[in-house]
Amino acid sequence: MNALLLQNGRSRRRRPERSALAIPGRSAGLTLVELLLGLSLGMALFVTLLQTLLLHGRGNERLVRLVRERGVQRRTLALLRSEILRADRLELGESPGLQPACSLAGRRPVLQLQTARGTISYTLSPPPSAIWRGQVLMRCGPAYGLDGEPSTGSSLNRVLLDGLATGGFEASRSGPGQLRLKLQQEFRLTDGHRQTISSAVEIATAERAP
């Protein structure tokens, strides 16, 4: 009997065992300092990812515009080259002895060609309407037919390239029988920065004396 009471007394005095995962002196949950630290780390990671995405998007915008506008510049220079090689006479800027193909109406002549089908005038001007960006390079001359040859009809005035920077078209003689053409466009990106795209070509002219 006494042994049983003694055993029961020891059982009542026995302390509960601690969990193996419990930490002495530590309450459950996170402290305010730990929450603030975690929030700061999360915000830093978010800002880093956002900057990476913005830089990636800006790079894509530049690349897409570069590929697109370079293609347009190459086609414009190819047209200029083909017409220069057809020309009997070539004048840089305005020439008293060569009548422009169209009324200038405030446009500045930068290149004029005398061909067998008539005069072709290239001019720089402000955009003729709101759909065009920046300065524009315009061509006035015979239109091309379905066979790819200039027609004998009346001259037409058309925009070849827009988005040109100030003085964005240059035609200069780089040597005897050599003509250098340069195009330069400038665009404002969505982040406020500017992107400049340029192309140039050297042409061996075949013009004959007037």
> What is the average pLDDT across 15-31?
53
Q: Is the confidence at residue 57, as pLDDT, over 90? A: no
Q: Is the confidence at residue 9, as pLDDT, over 80? A: no
Neighbours of 121 (CB within 10 A): 24
**pLDDT given at position 44:** 72
Relative to beta strand 118-125, strand 108-115 is: antiparallel
More confident residue, 154 or 210: 154
Which stretch of 10-19, 37-46, 143-152, 175-184 has the lowest confidence by average pLDDT? Answer: 10-19
Tell me the whole-structure pTM to 2 decimals. Answer: 0.68
* 98-114 pLDDT, tens digit each: 778 788 888 899 999 98
SS (H, E, C) the chain: CHHHHHHHHHHHHCCCCCCCCCCCCCCCCCCHHHHHHHHHHHHHHHHHHHHHHHHHHHHHHHHHHHHHHHHHHHHHHHHHHHHHHHCCEEEECCCCCCCCCCCCCCCEEEEEEEECCEEEEEEEECCCCCCCCCEEEEEEEEEECCCCCEEEEEEEEEEEEEEEEEEEEEEEEEECCEEEEEEEEEEECCCCCEEEEEEEEEEECCCCCC
More confident residue, 173 or 29: 173
Domain locations along the chain: 64-204
